[in-house]
Structure 1
Amino acid sequence: MKWKHIRNIREITLPHNSRGWLSIDSTGGGSATGGVRFGQNVSPDEVRELSEEMTLKFSFLNLPIGGAKAGICCPSPVSPEEKKEIFLQFGKALSPLLREYSYLPGTDMGTMPEDIDQILKGAGLEPQKKDKEINSGYYTAISVFAALKAAASASGLELKNMRITVQGLGKVGIELIRLAAQNGLKLIAAATRKGCLHDAKGLDSEKLIALATQYGDDAVFHYNEIKPVSAEEILTINTDVLCPCAGSQPIHAGNVNQINARMVIPGCNAAASPDTEKRLFERGICYLPGFVCNSGGVLCYLLKSYGFDGQEPGDFLDCGIRHKTAKIFDLAKKTNISPADAARQIVYRHQQRFSLESDASGKLQQLLIRFRCCGIREIIYAPIWAVVQPALRGKDGRRRRIARKILFERLFRS
């Protein structure tokens, strides 16, 4: 599969004073994958940055898949019919890329499966029915919580009664709060863009989930026992773990010195720039990049396509992300660098291999490249994977277990 960085962004004029962008950061086999973001403040810089994050996410998982992101800025409220028209025209404008499968869209902040259906309809394509069967927010939250558990273990912290604050009560934030409650963590603060609720004794997680499901960002005004404060205060609250789950770069140069958490485990993409990550590390705050923590959202589709069902995708993700995150902390300790830099070392090693293999003249050269970049493990498992991959969807239980073990090795141990 040919893999390469291309870093291309295009702008599209849309109805109702809206503008759209598609940023393709890299391609694998000629295509790139990434969600479509919709909101009043979406910008081309944000879309470009998020497409880069998608490349990092796939590379971290040892998947030579291209990273992309689309975004639509709609500055004023629109009716459901007007929103449909915007997505329809966006799909029409991207029709050549969509019809050739050069860009594969998915849901993101502000979009639902039916919005993606409208984009595909605009391009003259059939809806992607699988999007309606998978709660990607749930699987994203599983990977975030798995990374949290690994970070807590590396930091010597117990999960029981650990204080957690969650910024963003969307699809990921809600599921993360539910997982935290099930595992005995204490939710002491939660915020939407409208405000922040804080109670050092702990918020009622189930009540907050119900309110967020019913009222969205306005949920903070319906939790009657507590008066909300400004949304930005979520970042300054003393807590064990802060989980930003909304927006792009909620932590930046202007507020990084106000962060009052022992760990920052993002559920959103691009939660901080590399410079801000460095400052968090200097302050002794454990930070993991979003491409590590929230990779479950993209990986769940792959697992479903391989026949994983029921609790299997969640269990596989939980075990795998915990294992790979633990490797990050081991590498960081061994090389005396930050966990964020250690994660990027893993990414760049994989990207080097992807790029070199794309230019290799034959299988022998590919094997030498794999050995140089990833060691003997990749040499052993790559040919085995090619043989056992079809068994993932087969009925032979023994062969399927072997295939899943090899898949685990390739995604999480490399």
Structure 2
Amino acid sequence: MAENPYEMALKQLKKAIDVLGYDHNIYDVLSKPQRILEVSIPVKMDDGSIKVFVGYRVQHNDALGPYKGGVRYHPGVTKDDVIALAMWMTWKCSVAELPYGGGKGGVRVDPRKLSMGELERLSRGYIRAIAPIIGPDVDIPAPDVYTNPQVMAWFMDEYSKLKGRNVPGVVTAKPVELWGSYGRIEATGYGVAVAAKFASRKYGLPFEGARVAIQGYGNVGYYSALFMHKWGAKIVAVSDSKGGIYNPEGLDPQKVKAFKERSGTVVGFPDAKKVISNEELLTLEDIDILVPAAIENVITGENADKVHAKIIVEGANGPVTPEADEILFKKGIIVVPDIIANAGGVIVSYYEWVQNLQGLQWKLNEVLKMLKDKMLSALYKVYRKYNKLDTDLRTAAYAVAVERVVNAMKLRGWI
């Protein structure tokens, strides 16, 4: 059975608190979110019936600045999921040195079963329900699982109607035509690729020719593959929810994407040598870098011992459980944790927010250069903490993040 993500987040926090030598009072403060809002969203369906959906907005900590975090639409959304994700956003923003705290939202719904009109009415209803506790200086939502720039456009428009003026900075990852930022679509995958290249260099693995497997071929998986391929790595396996493909000679990320767009899956791609399962992809023997970029809890205490990759870069949130972390650490496998590996999205969301506040729009090459610099700065800080504490990279990243939040709380007189 998959571990409760909130319990997983608490274990990770406790480990960081212990290595930093903080007392239990700090843990007590940071283990609980500052606010949990649960809302009911009545939506008129196309057949005339009314269906009520449950939604959440969790605000974990705002010591460093406004709450920041995505909104996911998923039939399996629970309050504990959203609390854990909000906490992870606090650490992700902190380790990247952004002026943000952590927040997260979710609605329990299968959006694939909704018409476009039903999806719009749900989105507008959700943002109206949480409007009293969000805003450009308070809490800035963004996309997550099964939400996208169109949903952000509806969010922004509905919030602006409530305020009687355009408020573009209330959400990020909007369409470029509607105060969005160039580079936001590529951002998370680009950041994963930067993290992978950094880790391979630091741990003596030549990136040129490194063999890479990527679980999940949505936005993050695709752009991770694209940039790693451009920088000389060899993508030998990719997968989606329907299965995976493998070719020891390498796969062309753009051709795989084009095939998936036509067929709905990577399975059946003509240049693949064989079809593999998602579980087989995780445990391939001839890979150097593994990127789990799909869902949480895929590398666990049950399969971690079968992982052969030298480096794991977490494109998804929480793909490696704490039990798996212990096993991988003992095996000498480097895990670049999610709070830094996939921070590219929130970093460019920050850049979008800054552009909105100043009425600017930067060029793509400017955004990607700033993103690369920001990612490398954060990675070096984590690496130095890793060497100082003689621990794993995740604990080092959490230590950097928690320390920054605690210092802010102390300066503000909260603790």
Place the TM-score, normalised by the shorter chain, in its bin. 0.7 to 0.9
Check whether the contact 2:62–2:101 (CA below 8 A) recurs between aligned residues.
yes
Question: Which letter does structure 1 place at the counterpart of 2:113?
Answer: P
Q: Which residue of 1 aligns with 2:12?
A: none
Measured in 2, the distance between the counterparts of 1:357 and 1:144 equals 33
Q: Calculate the aligned-residue CA RMSD, in Å.
A: 2.7
Q: Is residue 266 of structure 2 the alignment partner of residue 219 of structure 1? A: yes
Tell me the alpha carbon deviations over residues 165-191 of structure 1, each in whole angstroms, 9 at most, x when there is no partner. Answer: 111111111111110111111111101
Q: Is residue 134 of structure 2 the alignment partner of residue 91 of structure 1? A: no
Equivalent residue of 2:145, what SS? coil
Task: Check 1:143–1:117 CA distance in 2 against 1; reply closer, same or farther (3 A cut).
Answer: same
Q: Is residue 67 of structure 2 the alignment partner of residue 67 of structure 1? A: no
Measured in 2, the distance between the counterparts of 1:215 and 1:50 equals 32
Cα distance, 1:275 vs structure 2: 4.0
Alignment of 1:101-140 (within 5 A): 102-123=138-159, 124=162, 126=166, 128=168, 131-133=174-176, 134=181, 135-140=183-188
Task: Check 1:356–1:256 CA distance in 2 against 1; reply closer, same or farther (3 A cut).
Answer: same
Equivalent residue of 1:220, what SS? coil
Measured in 2, the distance between the counterparts of 1:206 and 1:17 equals 40
Tell me the alpha carbon deviations over residues 4-52 of structure 1, each in whole angstroms, 9 at most, x when there is no partner. Answer: 8560333333344643221211124773111111223333322221111
Measured in 1, the distance between the counterparts of 2:66 and 2:374 equals 26
Measured in 1, the distance between the counterparts of 2:351 and 2:124 equals 29
Cα distance, 1:341 vs structure 2: 1.4
Q: Which residue of 2 aligns with 1:354?
A: 408
Check whether the contact 1:28–1:64 (CA below 8 A) recurs between aligned residues.
no
Q: Which residue of 1 aligns with 2:196?
A: 148
Check whether the contact 1:37–1:110 (CA below 8 A) recurs between aligned residues.
yes
> TM-score, with normalisation over the residues of structure 2?
0.78
Tell me the alpha carbon deviations over residues 280-312 of structure 1, each in whole angstroms, 9 at most, x when there is no partner. Answer: 212211001111111121111333526653312
Measured in 2, the distance between the counterparts of 1:251 and 1:104 equals 31
Question: Which letter does structure 2 place at the counterpart of 1:12?
Answer: V
Q: Which residue of 2 aligns with 1:40?
A: 75
Q: Which residue of 1 aligns with 2:40?
A: 13
Identity fraction in percent? 24
Moved more, 62-71 or 36-45: 36-45
Moved more, 224-233 or 195-204: 224-233
Residues matched between the structures, number:
357
Specify which structure has the bigger relative contact order, considering alpha-carbon pairs within 8 angstroms and separated by 6 or more residues: 2
Task: Check 1:221–1:21 CA distance in 2 against 1; reply closer, same or farther (3 A cut).
Answer: farther
Q: Which residue of 1 aligns with 2:289?
A: 241
Task: Report which of the two has the higher share of helix.
Answer: 1
Check whether the contact 1:146–1:319 (CA below 8 A) recurs between aligned residues.
no
> TM-score, with normalisation over the residues of structure 1?
0.78
Measured in 2, the distance between the counterparts of 1:29 and 1:335 equals 24
Measured in 1, the distance between the counterparts of 2:391 and 2:289 equals 21
Unaligned runs of 5+ in 2: 1-28, 44-50
Moved more, 320-329 or 198-207: 320-329
Unaligned runs of 5+ in 1: 361-368, 370-414
Equivalent residue of 1:261, what SS? coil
User: Among 87, 91, 107, which residue is 1:52 paired with?
Assistant: 87
Question: Which letter does structure 2 place at the counterpart of 1:347?
Answer: A
Cα distance, 1:215 vs structure 2: 4.6
Q: Is residue 389 of structure 2 the alignment partner of residue 335 of structure 1? A: yes
